[in-house]
Chains A and B, each alone.
Chain A
Amino acid sequence: MNGLKNDGISEIIDGKRVIVKKPELLAPAGTLEKLKIAVRYGADAVYIGGQEYGLRSNAGNFTFEEMKEGVAFAKEYGAKVYVTTNIFAHNENIDGLEDYLRGVGEAGVTGIIVADPLIIETCRRVAPNVEVHLSTQQSLSNWRAVKYWKDEGLDRVVLARETTGEEMRLMKEKVDIEIETFIHGAMCIAYSGRCVLSNHMTARDSNRGGCCQSCRWDYNLVEMEDGAEVAITQEGDSPFAMSPKDLRLLQSIPGLIELGIDSLKIEGRMKSIHYVATVVGVYRKVIDAYCADPENFTIQDEWLEELEKCANRPAAPAFFAGTPGADEQLFGVHGKKASHDFTGLVVDYDKATQMVTLQQRNFFRPGDTVEFFGPNLDTFNQIIGTVVDEDGNELDAARHPLQIVRFKVERPVSKDDMMRKGL
């Protein structure tokens, strides 16, 4: 992909080529806490869900008040907030839509991510200042459909996960519209929006947020021969599975930047703050490094290792270079454990005493070797010494979730830095 060039992406400055069109790094934010972490760790924009009309009925989901607070926080860092409003509505969902979209508009968000033309048009009418971005749920995978949505006045389109880099290039050449594409995270194995397994298997409507991920379950394959069933999956065989590996396009970030893609999106509104911080932090470094000096850019092993610390499935590049093979699906396994546990969030640090105040997120004890990382911190290892609770009582271990503890660290840390432990 490195050979592909688009106009207006780079310039020669002082004899050196630099990228002037830096793509937006767009991160998931399931809650206000995750929003703040994503922004602190380098996201240029975040997407959140409201109380209705989004596709993650189990995610945290923001009230209008929380949206306002999130927008204000993001603004301090120059970051934008988008609201996923991407259900395919039924008639019964039409009532209340106008009020909801007015509320979203009043919360000051930059845009909404929409799949259903009902919501596109209603937003135009009642919240005209809000940008409208087409959701990946529309499975947008050709340039003429991109042109259609451009002509309809949309500000941005999110492509189908099935789109290759070459296909993106033609879309960019043919149509002048912002393009957003997924670079990392879990994916549908079906064309998004075209799967109703949940509706049939559990009476939950996948296109209104009820997806129960039936595609990750195991099945047996059977063949009908002359009216009789013959098992293809035999006793002892791995069951039929269609669970995809997670998407990871770290190595293709240079290609995406050279294509002029406008926004690079990370999946995962249900993921932890540790996941958000880790993934956003890595891609922030990759994008910045490439844009500053594309000719001397190389992929650092430590970036890939860093992503493994929070990865709970093996990863693959999916459709970017063509239709993925059998090795990009999970057979016989459903995932893997991340290499590290998230053990604590830094609340405060006292320079004079070198004591960190930490909110416990997973079990750790004195003697453990842990790692601190943060948006402005060079990652370092620390052996934990004496740990005390809020009242100064010494602890044999930090056992309780969200418990506030203190101990000494060798290097300065700051609020929102994180502590993790290798497994």
Chain B
Amino acid sequence: MNKPELLVTPGSVNEIKKQIEAGADAFLIGEQRYGLRLAGEFNRQQVKEAVALAHEHGKKIYVAVNAIFHNEIANELDDYVAFVKGAGADAIVFGDPAVVMAVRETAPGFPLHWSPETIATNYYTANYWGKRGAVRAVLARELSMDAVIETKEQADVQIEVQVHGMTCMFQSKRPLLGHYFEYMGKSMEIQKRQGTQNMLLHDAERSNKYPIYEDANGTHIMSPNDMCIIDELQDLVEAGIDSFKIDGVLQTEEYRIETTKLYRKAIDLCVDQPDQYEEEKEGMLEAAEALQQEHRPLDSGFFFKETVY
């Protein structure tokens, strides 16, 4: 049985060192100008350092170029794609077809991961992007376990799924927090809170709290719970899912590292000693729960939840 890759989102080059020790196999990094909802900001120099460090340990670096681009940045994509290739990164993660165009012109054949988040919902379309340069599809987090497994069975590309962390529910181009403060006559608050990531929308009817923050890509609203399926990895491993991602956006470095350690152990057990995994999985889930802040419960995302329409 192949062991799925454990992919994490470090906040800094320094964290990558610790993450390698903790057991991560691959890293998703980038900068806000081109990438969405990253755990850290990596300028070009830091991307190079990250690649050197990861490769030294046989690990991989994927660079996020997955924003929704407007003309201005679309014109810069050749330059950035050339940089990523030159830096020796292992793949570019994209959602916008403009990136496919830039790679065709600037770095033909460079590996792409198709990751448009909410709209990666079926195997046919995963294979469609496979024919256009994607070697991997990163599936929407709103899919059931059965749908994920069926997609893997039918896919000609690698399949990556998120197994832990928060997910984005909403992205607007408008600065919605700034607009609210402006409406409230609290314009000075906008400056004060620039770049802060500690605000929540309280949905009283559902007793939920949704993290909300603004950056260069607009306003992002995140899921009220962190998904965690550390105790449900067996079916995904057996199906041959290629990569398990822990998304560590809006979490602390310490949290991310501890979570990586837990999943390293879970994946190793699940593949090498499945009986032992069965025995220990409840305990690992409890250990994951112990890492959570009070206002962020764990759940299993959409893996076992039915949606209608």
Query: A and B: partners?
Result: yes
By a beta-carbon cutoff of 8 Å, the part of chain A in contact with chain B is 57, 88-94, 115-118, 121, 137-139, 141-145, 147-149, 160, 162-163, 167, 170-171, 189-191, 193-197, 199-201, 203-205, 207-210, 215, 217, 219-225, 227, 229, 232, 237-238, 240-242, 244, 319, 323-326, 329, 331
Q: How many A-B residue pairs have CB under 8 A?
A: 205
Given A205-B307, A238-B183: 8 more A-B contacts, CB < 8 Å? A90-B147, A116-B122, A142-B74, A145-B69, A191-B172, A200-B223, A224-B199, A323-B175
Q: B170 interface residue, CB < 8 Å from A?
A: yes
Question: When chains A and B are docked, how far (Å) is the Cα of A138 from the Cα of B119?
Answer: 9
Whether the pair B201, A221 counts as a contact (CB closer than 8 A) is yes
The one of A205, A215, A223, A227 in contact with B308, judged by C-beta atoms closer than 8 angstroms, is A205
B122-A193 in contact (CB<8A): no
Instruction: Given the known inter-chain contacts A224-B200, A326-B178, please indicate yes or no for A93 contacting B122, CB distance below 8 A.
Output: yes
Given the known interface contacts A144-B74, A221-B199, A223-B198, the answer about A323 and B118 at a Cβ–Cβ threshold of 8 Å is no
Decide: B118 and A200 in contact? CB cutoff 8 A.
no
Given A142-B98, A167-B71, A221-B201, answer yes or no on A204-B121 (Cβ-Cβ < 8 Å).
Answer: no
**Which of B121, B170, B178, B309 is in CB contact (< 8 Å) with A197?**
B170
The answer to whether B308 and A203 touch across the interface, beta carbons within 8 angstroms, is yes
Which residue of the partner chain, among B102, B224, B306, contacts A203 with CB atoms under 8 Å?
B306
Q: Is the CB of B170 within 8 A of A148?
A: no
Q: A205 with B309: in contact, given A92-B147, A190-B171 (CB under 8 Å)?
A: yes
Would you call B270 an interface residue if the criterion is a C-beta within 8 Å of the partner chain's C-beta atoms? no
Which of B3-11, B55-63, B123-131 sits within the interface? B123-131
**B294 contacts across to A, CB distance below 8 A:** 227
**Shortest distance from the beta carbon of A247 to any chain B beta carbon, whole Å:** 13
Min CB gap B105→A, angstroms: 10
* Interface 1/0 per residue, B134-157 and A, CB below 8 Å: 000000001100010011001000
**Least distance between A241 CB and chain B CB atoms (Å):** 8
| Interfacial residues of chain B within 29-54, with CB under 8 A of chain A in the complex | none
Which chain B residues lie closer than 8 Å to A224 at the CB level? Answer: 198-200, 295
Contact B202 A220 (CB under 8 A): yes
- CB neighbours (8 Å) of A227 from chain B are 293-294
Contact A144 B102 (CB under 8 A): yes
| Residues of chain B within 8 A of A324, CB atoms compared | 174
**Is there an interface contact between A194 and B71, defined as CB atoms closer than 8 Å?**
no
Task: With both chains docked as a complex, state the minimum distance between the C-beta of B306 and any C-beta of chain A, in angstroms.
Answer: 7
Mask for B90-112, Cβ within 8 A of A = 1, else 0? 00000011101110000000000
Would you call B101 and A210 a contact (CB within 8 A)? no
**In whole Å, how far is A314's beta carbon from the nearest beta carbon of chain B?**
14
* Bound Cα distance A222, B210 (Å): 10
Size class of the contact patch on chain B = 35 or more
Q: B118 is contacted by which of A145, A194, A221, A242 (Cβ under 8 Å)?
A: A194
Closest approach, in angstroms, between the C-beta of A364 and any C-beta of chain B?
39
CB-CB under 8 A for A145 and B74, given A116-B122, A229-B295: yes
Q: Which residues of A contact B201 (CB under 8 A)?
A: 219-222, 240
| Chain B residues closer than 8 Å to A94, beta-carbon distance | 122, 124
In contact, A221 and B119 (Cβ under 8 angstroms) = no
| Chain A residue nearest in CB terms to B209 | A222
A141 pairs with B70, CB closer than 8 A: yes
Residue pair B74, A143 in contact (C-beta under 8 Å): yes
- Cβ of B173: which chain A residues have Cβ within 8 Å of it? 162, 191, 319, 323
Complex: A148 Cα to B101 Cα, angstroms: 7
Which B residues are closer than 8 A to A by beta carbons?
A: 68-71, 73-74, 77, 96-98, 100-102, 117-119, 121-125, 128-129, 142-143, 147, 150-151, 154, 168-180, 182-184, 198-204, 206, 208-210, 212, 218-219, 221, 223-224, 293-295, 302, 305-309
In the assembly, what is the distance between CA of A325 and CA of B178, in Å? Answer: 9
Residues on A with C-beta less than 8 A from B151 are: 91
Question: Is the Cβ of B170 less than 8 Å from the Cβ of A221?
Answer: no
Of listed B117, B175, B177, B184, residue having the most chain A CB within 10 A: B184
Question: CB distance B69 to A142 under 8 Å?
Answer: yes
User: Which chain B residues lie closer than 8 Å to A197 at the CB level?
Assistant: 169-170, 221
Contacts A118-B122, A148-B101 given: A199-B176 contact, CB under 8 Å?
no
B97 contacts A190, C-beta separation under 8 Å = no
A91 to B307, CA, bound (A): 14
Contact pick for A148, options B71, B98, B199, CB 8 Å: B98
User: In the docked arrangement, what's the CA distance between A191 and B293, Å?
Assistant: 30
B contact residues around A93 at 8 Å (CB) = 122
Please tell me which one of the listed residues B70, B97, B101, B121 contacts residue A90 in the complex, with CB atoms under 8 A apart: B121
Contacting pair A189 B309 (CB below 8 A)? no
Beta-carbon contact of A196 and B202 below 8 Å: no
- Set A92, A139, A143, A217: member contacting B68, Cβ < 8 A: A139
Could you say which of A121, A167, A205, A215 contacts B170, with CB atoms under 8 Å apart? A215
CA distance A91 to B159 in the complex (A): 15
**A242 to B69 Cα, complex, angstroms:** 22
- Cβ–Cβ < 8 Å partners of B198 in chain A: 223-225
Contact (Cβ within 8 A) B180 A207: no
Q: Are A118 and B128 in contact (CB under 8 A)?
A: yes
Minimum CB–CB distance from B48 to chain A (whole Å) comes to 26
